């Protein structure tokens, strides 16, 4: 994992992620996580998503910067005790800035 030296990140939080969701995050289609609010995750933290096939870890992982956390919004259907975490790859300026060579599998934006 390469983390730009000019930015200071918060804590690192590891989470399991099923293959269908892992793939969507890897391809930058899914830029959020809906999770139990149990780690006091904040914008600026680092989320490490480890692919989990339901029985074991596959050995694949993704590292994402937490850009936003939505919590305490039951009026919009977000259940108490849950949060929505906005994520983007480490080192990207915005979720829409795709560095050259970011896709190794010929995926296009």
**Which domains are assigned to the chain?**
12-89 (2.30.130.30)
Above 50 in pLDDT, residue 1? no
- pLDDT score at 108: 45
- Given a cut of 50, whether residue 87 has pLDDT beyond it is yes
In the numeric block, which tokens belong to residue 34?
A: 């809906």
**What is the per-residue pLDDT for 75?**
93
The structure's pTM equals 0.78
What digits encode the pLDDT tens for the residues 2-51?
A: 555 567 889 999 999 999 999 999 999 999 999 999 999 999 999 999 99
Long-range contacts, stretch 51-59, CB < 8 angstroms, 24+ apart: 51/17, 51/18, 51/19, 51/22, 52/16, 52/17, 52/18, 53/18, 53/19, 54/18, 57/16, 58/19
Give the pLDDT confidence score for residue 94 in this predicted structure.
Answer: 55
For residue 105, what pLDDT is reported?
Answer: 53
Is the pLDDT confidence value at 92 over 90? Answer: no
């Amino acid at each position: 994992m390469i983390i730009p030296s000019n930015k200071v990140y918060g804590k690192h939080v590891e989470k399991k992620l099923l293959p269908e969701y892992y793939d969507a995050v890897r391809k930058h289609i899914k830029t959020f996580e809906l999770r139990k609010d149990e780690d006091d995750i904040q914008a600026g933290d680092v989320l490490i998503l480890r692919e989990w096939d339901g029985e074991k870890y596959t050995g694949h992982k993704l590292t994402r910067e937490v850009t936003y956390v939505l919590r305490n919004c039951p009026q919009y259907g977000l259940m108490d005790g849950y949060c929505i975490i906005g994520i983007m790859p480490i080192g990207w300026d915005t979720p829409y800035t795709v560095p050259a060579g970011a896709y190794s599998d010929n995926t296009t934006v």
